[in-house]
Amino acid sequence: MSEVAFPIPEVVSGQTAAEPPKVGFVSLGCPKALTDSELILTRLSAEGYRTSKTFEGADLVIVNTCGFIDDAVRESLDTIGEALATNGRVIVTGCLGAKAGDGGGNLVREMHPSVLAVTGPHATQEVIDAVHLNLPKPHDPFVDLVPQSFGVAGLKLTPRHYAYLKISEGCNHRCTFCIIPSMRGDLVSRPVGDILSEAKALFEGGVKELLVISQDTSAYGVDVKYRTGFWDGKPVKTRMLDLVRTLGDIAEPYGAWVRLHYVYPYPSVDEIIPLMASGRVLPYLDVPLQHSHPDVLRRMKRPASGEKNLERIARWRELCPELVIRSTFIAGFPGETEQEFDHLLGFIREAEIDRAGCFAYSPVKGAAANDIPGMLPEAEREARRARFMAVAEEVSANRLRRRVGATMQVLVDSAPGLGRKGGVGRTYADAPEIDGTVRLLPPEKISKTLKVGEFTRARIVGTEGHDLVAIPI
Ligand code: SF4
């Protein structure tokens, strides 16, 4: 990888300043890491730094790493190595930066001793300090006054029409396969007023879809005992229901969508469903269930593992028939019997999970699950993943086919030539990057055009794998 993404917008000061210092930036990992990258780039942009699209053209490179599974660790270490070989001046941040190596020291430093600085995740100030130390910030009074593209929401790395909104950092659970709490710490909820101000700034800046993310969205506010905050002069509790309801209210005049990710099936989620049924937020829930069998869930130490998920999902669908459920699962967890695995296959059939992803269990260094007896051979874990995906795809395809003939609202993601030859978009049932898309055919009416970031009504005329095909009307 020699291309580096994420240009900071051009700075127009009206004055000829000395060439501003240039930073290369690579952001790896999940949407939570992406929001950390956005915070760092926002600060650097406000201080007058520019970005370089290549390692060679940068004065210094920042690599935001992922340390979740072994493949991600390898990718992060390779990227650091490449940046060091090409540029030589590298600052490392992100989850991998918090990991210990075999020698007991910092893993990144053990593997790449010449990096300039290493920080853990969610460490904007430490990264900025390291940049200042190694690449002093430009002194340009005009540049210091440059507005940020989304006001208080800062700079975003997603397309202009959708944005991730991180509501908390860290996690209070200790799932046995996960090392995130050891890297990101316990749950810390952001003040509710800050989140709502950021949401408003994003809508004002043109965002049409807000994706609420965290490690555990349903736990929002637990750490501060759901204390009451303020927004727009009114009290709002630091609690998922109040946050989601207010986000829906703020989104409404902009005609924007609010989508919820990483929601665990606690009874409190039942209160959110009526907001979905009434159209306040999208009837879409990303619920990372990981398994269905109670014994496996206990071995995984999953949150809400005692809940009766089939009944809960049935009740949600009764209240909101349009509800779409996305989930992720692990096949071949240590000790998983054939009978437990069959339970999982039965569950996704019966629960009719609309979108399911599945990982074959892969041991993560430092995870407690490594000590659970009954590790299955890799070939068996992979075989179960493949069997799972075959069933999940059949369920998903059946659910998708029910859409044919319906007219749906589609958010346009791509529309070359004003969409006269068609484009690509998504319905409420599709989150960007992880779900399907809608292939838009040329509009029926010759006068109709499509624009990225705008909604269009479209008649669904067919399905293609995970995707829909539709005609804009
Ligand atoms: S809920 Fe479990 S899997 Fe998710 S971040 Fe917390 S410990 Fe990890």
Dist CA 156 CA 148 (whole Å): 10
Q: Is the CB of 301 under 6 A from ligand 1?
A: no
Least confident of 103-117, 206-220, 395-409: 103-117
241-277 per-position pLDDT tens digit:
999 999 999 999 999 999 999 999 888 899 999 999 9
Residue 110, exposed/middle/buried by CB under 10 A (0-12, 13-18, 19+)? middle
Dist CA 258 CA 284 (whole Å): 9
Atom 5, ligand 1: which residue's CA is nearest?
Answer: 215
Q: Are strands 407-414 and 423-426 parallel, antiparallel or unpaired?
A: antiparallel
30-64 per-position pLDDT tens digit:
888 888 898 898 888 877 888 888 999 999 999 99
Largest Cα–Cα distance in the chain? 71
Q: Is the CB of 180 under 6 A from ligand 1?
A: yes
Q: Is the CB of 178 under 6 A from ligand 1?
A: yes
31-46 vs 124-134: helix axis angle to the nearest 10?
40
Dist CA 168 CA 154 (whole Å): 17
Q: Give which of 396, 397, 400 is closest to 460, Cα–Cα.
A: 400
Dist CA 286 CA 325 (whole Å): 6
Q: Is the CB of 173 under 6 A from ligand 1?
A: yes
Token representation of residue 24: 């290369």
Q: Ligand 1 centre and the CA of 210: distance in Å?
A: 22
Where residue 168 falls among pLDDT bands split at 50, 70, 90? very high
Token representation of residue 274: 């009526």
Q: Ligand 1 centre and the CA of 178: distance in Å?
A: 6
Q: Give which of 340, 262, 364, 352 is closest to 316, Cα–Cα.
A: 352
| 3-class secondary-structure state, position 168 | strand
Q: Is the CB of 256 under 6 A from ligand 1?
A: no
Atom 2, ligand 1: which residue's CA is nearest?
Answer: 175
Dist CA 249 CA 252 (whole Å): 5
Q: Is the CB of 297 under 6 A from ligand 1?
A: no
Residues composing the chain: 473
Q: Is the CB of 192 under 6 A from ligand 1?
A: no
282-334 per-position pLDDT tens digit:
999 999 999 999 999 999 998 776 678 999 999 999 999 999 999 999 999 99
Token representation of residue 243: 């946050």
Q: Ligand 1 centre and the CA of 173: distance in Å?
A: 6
State which H helix or E strand residue 242 sits in.
helix 240-251
Q: Is the CB of 181 under 6 A from ligand 1?
A: yes
State which H helix or E strand residue 235 sits in.
strand 234-237
pLDDT, the chain, mean: 89
What phi and psi, each to the nearest 5 degrees, are found at residue 51?
-105, 155
Residue 306 has a pLDDT of 66
pTM: 0.77
Counting ligand 1 atoms within 8 A of each CB, the residue from 32, 68, 171 with the most, and so the one to mutate, is: 171
Q: Give which of 182, 261, 264, 158 is closest to 214, Cα–Cα.
A: 261
Q: Is the CB of 171 under 6 A from ligand 1?
A: yes
Residue 38 has a pLDDT of 87
Using the predicted structure, report yes or no on whether residue 388 has a pLDDT greater than 90. Answer: yes
404-455 per-position pLDDT tens digit:
999 999 999 999 999 989 999 999 999 998 999 999 999 988 889 999 999 9
Residue 16 has a pLDDT of 39
Indicate left, alpha or beta for 362 from its phi (over 0: left) and psi (-120 to 50: alpha).
beta
Taking CA atoms, 116 is separated from 77, 130, 245, 348, 436, in Å, by 15, 8, 44, 48, 40
Taking CA atoms, 434 is separated from 121, 328, 349, 355, 466, in Å, by 23, 11, 20, 9, 11
Using the predicted structure, report yes or no on whether residue 14 has a pLDDT greater than 50. Answer: no
338-347 per-position pLDDT tens digit:
999 999 999 9
